[in-house]
Structure 1
Amino acid sequence: YNIAQFSDFSVDFALENIESLKLSVQDEKIARLILKEIKSRLKFLQNVGLGYLTLSRSAATLSGGESQRIRLATQVGSQLTGVLYVLDEPSIGLHPRDNKRLLETLFSMRDLGNTIVVVEHDEATMMAADHIVDLGPRAGIHGGEVVAEGTPAEIMKNENSLTGNYLSKRYEIAIPEKRRKPKNFLKIIGAKEHNLKEIDVPIPLGVLAVVTVVSGSGKSTLVHDVLYKGLARRVYHSIEMPGEHKDILNWQIIDKIIEIDQSPIGRTPRSNPATYTGLFTPIREVFSQVPEARARGYTPGRFSFNVKGGRCEACEGDGVIRIEMHFLPDVYVTCETCKGTRYNRETLEIKFKGRNIAEVLEMTVEEALTFFDSIPIIKKKLNLLNEVGLGYIHLGQRATTLSGGEAQRIKLAKELSRSAKGNTLYILDEPTTGLHFEDTKQLIKVLNRLVDAGNTVVVIEHNLDVVKCADYIIDLGPEGGEEGGKIVALGTPEEIADCQKSYTGEFLRDILRRKKDEKNAGILPNKNGGKNNSKKLRGEGRTS
């Protein structure tokens, strides 16, 4: 192989070739140290679950989780001691099998004399920790306190800790008693983009379908490049080129395709939950109907910060001034004229129930629910934001300050507010990223509501709490990279668990076996998903 060909190898294949290399005695002496270094670095990449990546892969095409794990592999190779490492959700995008390898890498770094601080919601990572700091008790303005700290065993004993209650299984996300049956199937024929091996994949309709794979096995290629872009081409006549495939059968059944990802709901300070969900329009109409506003001739447009009239012109309704920094990120400072309210003095003089428009935008969803209790159109949209677990966010909170998980749930709330017509295909890529057990439980409820309205939800996910609640699983594998791209198993979680070749089935077996044992022992779940002897779970509780 020349250097260009070798660079196109995956980490796994490159390591295999290096280890099987046969050299003469003299060449062995010359290359010994170089080969040792190459092997160790390839093994580091393999151990953090990146064996499927090609060595020549462009850095711009890597996901956030992949980039973080490459940096982690670099640190492992440096063999430094006395270092404090901080990792933010390193398990993002990892199958439970690959997560084991990542934990072993973290242990090896710890054992060198380093300290590893991990922000994580993954159960296996928490159970493997030496010490846990649990923040809460809820999110946003209701959080910011240390609820519990100690070893996993100590956290599990603490009944005030929501995390401890889930780890100890006093609370849990219940496995559905019945699985929905698919109404029909889309069928992808001959998908062979990237590492997909010209596979035919059935996509069940009218159910919650989960695509599970070991890392790098082609999940995003199949769901995003082939399914989403392929349907968009047929339904919307999109000009975007889909991944290589022969056909998609029964696509005429689908009316709409919506991909709900964790990208921001807006990239400017003016974008916020109220404007994105359509909530701001009726709020502005309410203010325009106030007697003082009518006397002054103010229309709903007066209360918009996107057009001239009622907004502060010094910051053009942003509430902040952007200061461009050469070679550094831009800095935002509060506008001195409006003090961050976004509006001019005349607009702020108009009050509804004693609050002006800026004060209303500063309300949390929970506060606004009480404030607008008598206005059904506003209350309905606020209820949906509250139901997806976002009661703590501010109506006018800048989109740039929202996390990926929060942005995704705002998009879900917007979809729930639409008239239910059915026959819509929703696609979500790892929606549980950054979510605590309680938030995941709330998310599953929302996804089930979309399915119950006659829609189809396809989720790419590794979180076993979501996988066990699926009606149908598409398991790809068996490995990542060139060793993947095949269908390993199809069917309900119970059918996947019976498949000995499936890594997903291996982890599902333990979960389903535990449920069966509890049922046989007469331990039935209570309405909160926990055991009968557990205390009542507060629906609004969460940690972050």
Structure 2
Amino acid sequence: MASISVRGAQEHNLKNIDVDVPKNKLVVFTGVSGSGKSSLVFDTIYAEAFRRFADSSQTPIYVMGSSNWSKMARPRFRALSGLPPALGLSQKQGVAGKLSTVGTISGISDLLRVYYAAFGDVYCHKCDIPLRSISFPDLCKKVFEDYEGKKIKIIAPICEKRKGGFADEIEKFRELGFSKLRVNGDNYDLQDDNEKIKIDAKKLNTIDVIIDYSIISQEKKQRIERALLQALEHGKGIVKIEYLTEEIKFNTKSNCPQCGESAPKLDPRYFSHSSLGKCLKCDGNGAQHNALSADLFPCKQCLGSRLNPDSPIVRVCGKTFKETHMMTMQKLQLFVMHELKSHVQNDKSKLKVYSELSRSIFSIHRLGLGHLNLNRAGGSLSPGDLQRLRLASMISNKLTGVLYVIDEPCQGLTAQEVKQLTSVLQEIVKEGATVLAVEHHPVFLACCDFLFLMGPGAGVHGGQVVATTTALPDLDVFLAKEHSVANKTNFESREIFQEKLPRQAKANSKKRNHAVSSQLPSKNAVAALIFSDVAVRNLKVKKIQIKQGVITLFRGASGFGKSSFLELCLLPALYSLGGKNPDAEQDIKIPFKEFCNLSASPDICVNIVGYVKPGSVTRSSRRSVASALEVIKPLREIFSQLPSSQVMGLMESHFSWNSKLGQCEHCAGKGYIELPQRYAEPVRVECELCLGAKLNSRSLLPRFKGFNLADVMNFTLEQALEVFENHRIIANRIFRACQFGLGYVQLGQGMDSLSGGELQRLNLTIELKRANLEGAWFILTHPSTGLHGPDISILGELMRVMTGRGATFILVENREEFLPFADHIVEF
């Protein structure tokens, strides 16, 4: 089929729509937040593609179990055909793990581990010279010379720190007549039928077979030589000699000719900072503290490499594994293209690893990430860099006939970087793939093959395909038309809010220069933080000035130091001046004065620092939007005061899913049951008893205006505002969120399901309740995430109102639509 045919899609707010998505094209879905883009692209098309793939393979059996898989709900649609295998990349994948690095996320570290373990040259720790193999006659000679008259154990190593039960191997040695087995230091008699050998298959086990235990003498030469030969045979070229508490390992493949050091059998896990090779001091983190960056605050033992200094020294083309991970991608690409290419020559086994390695590095370099190195912590990356890094890993194989589904790939990119990205995606399309993206960036929209506009508004006002186009030259006219449609259809509170805006804010929103706005208080206009002699990572700047009470915009290409300056200079400086971040997981003091000098105006004021990174999940799924807006308590009060509740004796706690009095017993108030998977995150399935309501049947009986509390929690904020318009506290708090374009979000929606952009706007909503915002600093990284043109205008005007009350905004953003709202711009 030439297209993916979707009929009767009804997932979330989709209104029974029919869509034909062309294949082998770069297709983009755009529209205001909550218009149904992700519901169609990810929750319908991609979800069904994944479900069909897993259902037609053995995945349910080996990963989840067929019984659990059958409980998973199919997306709501009438028919879906022409669906190819799909690979997806969404914002909800979250931030990188604690031990994630650029190398692990991209998969390049895995390829290098294999190459170094298979084809690397081992060097002596003491002498730093290549280790050479020891012959069997030399081994026998050394044993007789060093241990004459001493009683030693001749041991064959079977496995070292490996998972498994090893039942077959143990039975083999029992049949061969060996009697002594050592498992994790414990000795067992193989010939004793009553003795049970305890091995935990889920743990890392070290197993040895004791071949002989004898005094070394010339009279026993044949016996000793036979034992050594057997040990080498079963130990695959390695034998251990144990005398008293001393154990020496001999390798017939590699030993130091000077000091006799023997190399272990190389294993890719020796080069992994999350396995056998991890530094024991920092537990593979590489830094002095888990919250610090390894490249700036390295652990003294491993020097930030994350690897155990006692791990084998292995070199390829004169470079160790650690040295390759300290190179930038640009330098690593040169190393691979020249030195490593000559090392591969015509060896087919080397060539297979090399081709995958070079292809992965090339993809990363093409996406503008040449400034990164493999050892860089994934958590220190900007959201845009992390998104493109995962994208590079996904597309490096250049699969044919595959559907790539991508969520906002242009996040944080300049116009030039967007053009570079689209050229890469267009090449993938030419090679036979289909790319389906959710995106708002005008440059990206202008480069696509087919454009779908979702809307016309958000939530209940969206869920339809408003228009489609391939006439890219008329894109400006197309977008202007949809902006007008969206503005007419969007919730009425936006129009009300526009009327309440100060007249000066309206005028300034049309045209702004980069000077400080004259409407701001004079003391805020002069208050500033001045950072001088800034030197952090690749950022070298003489002076950066940050003014209080205005909107400051950080702009610049990836790798120019925006995120580094923000997280290693600005934020720590604000914390040192008394700022508190309620969303911070832990209070870590970064010695920012190592990277810059700080000069603060005497009247500078810092109280609250609001910082939410897009893609991060800072709240528990148990906490809902209603809890964050502080309307859940008033709602429970309303329901507890209903006549039916009083007759039944129901109190506020009976309407809480965190209380045993109110929660559903089957799901413990979660609304879902988690199905464990063997190799992935648990899958959530709606609770069969409460059907997602979270409350027990008794607590669901009382109704307000015909709705029980579960119905209310399923309301969008717009719907809730209509129902509770006469309740001043609830209406005011919900109204502020609607002003930020969040009217489509549900009251009961878990905080972990919100995008980074939605979390940022919700944070601002909470702070807007303050009459005086002086001393409140808000740092927004890529606030355009998930926002279309009309949404950006609403956000910009609200930020102007908040700066008028004394707030300060720092935006890390490259979208041109934010320029009219900026009072000060810092170019990186």
Query: Could you tell me the TM-score, scaled by structure 1's length?
Result: 0.76
Query: 1:73 & 1:362 partners in 2: Cα distance?
Result: 38
Aligned equivalent of 2:595:
245
**Structure 2: how far apart are the matches of 1:297 and 1:413?**
35
Give how far 1:227 is off: 1.1
Matched, 1:260 2:612: yes
* 3-state SS in 2 of match to 1:413: helix
Q: Is 1:461–1:467's contact at 8 Å kept on the other side of the alignment?
A: no
1:102 to 421, 426, 444: 421
Distance 2:431 2:697 in 1: 61
Correspondent of 2:808 among 425, 431, 456: 456
1:358 aligns with 2:710: yes
Matches within 5 A, 1:28-177: 42-58=361-377, 61-62=380-381, 65-70=384-389, 72-73=391-392, 78=397, 81-151=400-470, 152-153=472-473, 162=482, 175-177=510-512
**Which residue is equivalent to 2:539?**
196
Give the AA of the match of 1:218. G
Change (3 A) 1:129 1:387: same
- Deviation string 1:279-321 (CA, Å, 9 cap, x unpaired) is 1112222223333434555443332221222232332222222
CA 1:428–1:63: 2 relative to 1, 3 Å: closer
Q: For the residues of structure 2 that align with 1:265 and 1:36, how far apart are their CA atoms?
A: 40
Structure-2 separation of matches of 1:341 and 1:79: 44
Match of 1:212 among 555, 562, 569: 555
For 1:71 and 1:260, the matched residues in 2 are separated by: 21
Which position in structure 1 is the counterpart of 2:213?
Answer: none
Contact 1:265–1:276 (Cα < 8 Å) also in 2? no
* Ranges in structure 1 where 5+ consecutive residues have no aligned partner: 167-172, 477-544
Q: How big is the shift at 1:52?
A: 1.0
Please give the per-residue CA displacement for 1:251-287, whole angstroms capped at 9, x wherever unaligned.
752222221333335332x321101111111222222
CA contact 1:211–1:473 (8 Å) conserved in 2: yes
Quote the offset at 1:184 in angstroms.
1.8
Shift of 1:368: 1.4
| Cα distance, 1:457 vs structure 2 | 0.5
Please say if residues 456 and 485 of structure 2, whose CA atoms lie closer than 8 Å, have aligned partners that are also in contact. no
C-alpha distance 308-7 of structure 1, shift in aligned 2 (>3 A): closer
8 Å contact 1:302–1:310 — kept in the other structure?
yes
Change (3 A) 1:322 1:132: same
Deviations 1:60-93, CA, capped at 9 Å, x for gaps: 6555543543455457664555444333222122
**Percent of counterpart pairs with the same letter?**
30
| 1:373-412 alignment, distance < 5 Å | 373-412=725-764
The structure-2 alpha-carbon separation of the partners of 1:454 and 1:41, relative to structure 1 and needing over 3 Å to count, comes to same
Q: Which amino acid aligns with 1:2?
A: K
The alpha-carbon deviation at position 228 of structure 1 amounts to 1.0
Q: Deviations over 1:172-197 (max 9, x none)?
A: x9643465343321122443332232
Q: Given residue 9 of structure 1, which amino acid in structure 2 is its aligned partner?
A: M
Alpha-carbon distance, 1:126 to partner: 0.4
In structure 1, the partner of 2:56 is none
1:247 CA displacement: 4.2
Q: CA 1:174/1:12 → structure 2, altered by over 3 Å: closer, same or farther?
A: farther
Q: In the alignment, is the contact (CA less than 8 A) between 1:89 and 1:119 conserved in 2?
A: yes
Unaligned runs of 5+ in 2: 1-317, 487-507, 518-524, 581-586
* Contact 2:329 2:369 (C-alpha < 8 Å) held by counterparts: yes
State the SS of the aligned residue for 2:638.
Answer: helix
Answer whether contact 1:148 1:161 (CA < 8 A) is retained. no
Are the counterparts in 1 of residues 605 and 774 from structure 2 also a CA contact under 8 Å?
no
Cα deviation, 1:89-123, whole Å, max 9, x if unaligned, reads 22122222222221222233333344332221111
Matched, 1:440 2:757: no
Distance 1:271 1:103, change over 3 A: same
User: Which stretch of the first structure deviates more once superposed, 463-472 or 59-68?
Assistant: 59-68
- Residue 379 of structure 1 and its aligned partner are, at CA, apart by 0.8
Could you say what secondary structure the match of 1:405 adopts?
helix
Task: Say which SS state the counterpart of residue 385 (structure 2) adopts.
Answer: helix
Partner of 2:699: 347
**Aligned positions of 1:313-324 closer than 5 A:** 313-324=665-676
Checking the alignment, whether the CA contact within 8 Å between 1:212 and 1:460 is kept in structure 2 is yes
- AA aligned to 2:599 is L
Deviation at 1:136, TM superposition (A): 1.7
**Contact in 2 for aligned 1:157/1:164 (Cα 8 Å):** no
Supply the distance in 1 between the matched residues of 2:450 and 2:693 (Cα, whole angstroms): 42
Q: Give the match for residue 327 of structure 2.
A: 9
Q: What are the equivalent positions in structure 2 for 1:466-485 lying under 5 Å apart?
A: 466-476=818-828
Query: Counterpart of 1:406 in 2: which secondary structure?
Result: helix
Stretch moving more, 451-460 or 74-83: 74-83
> Of the two, which has the highest radius of gyration?
2
CA offset digits 1:143-190 (Å, max 9, x no partner): 222111121346655589526989xxxxxx964346534332112244
CA contact (8 A) 1:147 1:160 kept: no
Counterpart amino acid of residue 95 in structure 1: T
Equivalent position amino acid for 2:698 in 1: E
SS in structure 1 of the partner of residue 768 of structure 2: helix
The answer (yes or no) to whether the contact 2:629–2:734 under 8 Å persists in 1 is no
Which residue, out of 226, 229, 237, partners 2:572?
229
Partner Cα distance (2:664, 2:394) in 1? 49
One-letter code of the match for 1:437? G
Distance 2:539 2:677 in 1: 45
Secondary structure of residue in 2 paired with 1:345: coil
Preserved CA contact (<8 Å) 1:95 1:462: yes
Deviations 1:411-434 (A, max 9, x none): 221111234241211111111112
Q: CA deviation at 1:9?
A: 2.4
Partner Cα distance (2:689, 2:783) in 1: 40
Distance (whole Å) between structure 1 residues aligned to residue 367 and residue 755 of structure 2: 25
Once the 2 structures are TM-superposed, how far is the Cα of residue 443 of structure 1 from its aligned partner? 1.7
Answer whether contact 1:192 1:245 (CA < 8 A) is retained.
yes
Higher RCO (CA < 8 A, seq sep 6+): 1
Moved more, 321-330 or 279-288: 321-330
Match of 2:252 in 1: none
CA distance in 1, matches of 2:426, 2:381: 25
Residue type of the alignment partner of 2:329: V
CA positional deviation for 1:396: 1.1
Paired residue type of 1:147: V
After superposition, the Cα gap between the structure-2 partners of 1:400 and 1:96, relative to the gap in structure 1 and judged at 3 Å, is same
Bigger mean CA offset, 79-88 vs 399-408: 79-88
Does the Cα contact within 8 Å between 1:210 and 1:473 map onto a contact in 2? yes
RMSD between aligned residues? 3.5
Distance 2:783 2:512 in 1: 23
Q: 1:302 to 1:190 in 2, by over 3 A?
A: farther
User: C-alpha distance in 2, partners of 1:146/1:437?
Assistant: 17
